[in-house]
Structures are given as C-alpha cells and as structure tokens.
Amino acid sequence: MDAYTYLLINIFTILFPLLRSFENRMRFASRWKFLFPALAITGAVFIFWDVLFTKWNVWEFNPLYITGINLINLPVEEWLFFLTVPFSCVFIYESVRYFIKKDLLAPYHRAISFIFLAVLSVVLVFNLDKIYTVVSFSLGITLLILHLFVLKPNYMGRFYLAYFISFIPFFLVNGILTSWPVVMYNNLENLGIRLYTIPVEDTIYNLSLLLMNIAIYEYLMQRSTKTTTNAPSALVSNKPKFELENAGSELA
C-alpha cells in the first residue's frame, strides 16, 4: 500500500476541485478548454526542470512511496503532480473570483510584487552556489518583472489572494511529501531553511507554477472573448438569419 502513497496524494489533491467543477454556479468545467493548454505548456517547462534536477541529485524520490512506473526518469506520480496541483490552484483562483466579488488586494498587488522582488533578489545574490535557490528565485523574479512592467494585467490582486489561500493545501500536501518523505532534497542545493519540513524555495516554486498557469489561462480566455466580440453579429447569434428576419417582421 505504501507504494501508492504519492499516487493517492495526487488523487486527493484534485478530487474536490474536480467534483465541484460541474456545479451550476462557477461552471469551472466550461473553462477547461483554456485551462488544459495552460497546464500542458507550464507542465512542460516544470517537467524539464524536474528531469534535470533529478538527474543532478538536487532532489530524489523515495522508492517506498511510488509505484515504480517512470517516464523520462520521473515517477508517473510526479507527472501527475503538474496536473493535480495547478488544476486545484486555478480552481481556488476561480473560486476567489466568484465568491469574493471585491478585488481585495488590487490596491496592493504592485507593492506585494516589489516586496517579493526585493527579498528574492537579495537572497539570490548571496546564494548563487545553490542551484534550487537560483533557479526557483530567478524564475519567480522573471515572472514578476514580466507582470509588473510588460503584461500589467488586472488579475494580480486576485492571483495573490488565491496564492495566499493556496498555502493551506500547499502545507498539507507538501508537508506529507517532505515529512514521510516522498521527496528528498539535497540541502547543499537549497538554503536549508524549512517551513516545518518544506524547503522555503518550494513557496516560490509554487508561486511560479501558479502564476505561469494563470497568465496563460487568462490570455486564452481574453483572446476567446475578443474573438467573440469581434465576430459578425449574424455569426454570434444562435438563431439562423432567416429566423431573425421573420421575428423582426412579426414584431413590425
């Protein structure tokens, strides 16, 4: 049974968001066509990173808690991680948007980003010999700069609220992964600072994972909205043109 530990963690991570995707209020399932491309693109980046770090012994997976099925030297459970965790985090993001109408952190999102940038940059400069710190912080810095000065989106307030809320399941899931441990870290390649048993770098890893997914997800939704808005009215209508004309003549 121990061999299914990581697999079961994945299943329980996605179970509630998956079941709630079909409820009538949020209708999260109706936006899967935007979500799954975001998961695929972001997952490809993080899996490439994961493969290299596993090869370089930055971290490794405890054979006691995985099924032993590997793809490109990664446990299949680790591949599933990049589906189940961001899926659940984007569900939290959409829940925030639906249930909390006011964008509570909108006035503060730039300040939050600058604080992250300052802290990450200072820590990075003094720890260039630690590869997990360097890669995770560098990616976080890059994504934050891109959002602050290039993209300038209107979703960062809601993103930060969802990110902070996601710490609740984050500490539960990553706490299990690192305390049993399912995933074992080489402390020579990180700061050695733990939140319970979780390397502090994991919090920035999670920020980058969620932000990249949200950025692509929002871009695809906005592009779809613009396409629909710019479409000819006859194409947008659900009724054939002759039905619209007949309805108009009857009203006349």
Only one residue has tokens 């299949």, namely 76
- Is residue 106's pLDDT more than 70? yes
pLDDT at position 225 is 83
Number of domains in the chain: 1
Asked if residue 236 has pLDDT above 90, the reply is no
Does residue 248 sit within a domain? no
Q: Does a structural domain hold residue 243?
A: no
pLDDT of residue 232: 54
Confidence category of residue 1, pLDDT binned at 50, 70, 90: confident
pLDDT band for position 230 (cuts 50, 70, 90) = low
* Structural domain of 83: 2-226
Residue 8 in any domain: the answer is: yes
Mean pLDDT in residue range 68-82: 97
Read off the amino acid at residue 90.
V
Q: Give the mean pLDDT of 209-234.
A: 84
Residue 149 lies in a domain: yes
Residue with tokens 């939704």: 221
Per the listing, tokens 């899931």 go with 173
Q: What pLDDT does 75 receive?
A: 98
CA angle, residues 107, 133, 68, in degrees to nearest 5: 110
pLDDT at 244: 35
Residue 238 has pLDDT above 70, yes or no: no
Considering the chain, what is the average pLDDT of its residues? 92
Q: What is the C-alpha separation between 28 and 23, in angstroms, rounded?
A: 8
**pLDDT surpasses 70 at 183:** yes
Q: Is residue 247 part of a domain?
A: no
Given this model, what pLDDT does residue 73 score?
Answer: 92
168: in domain: yes
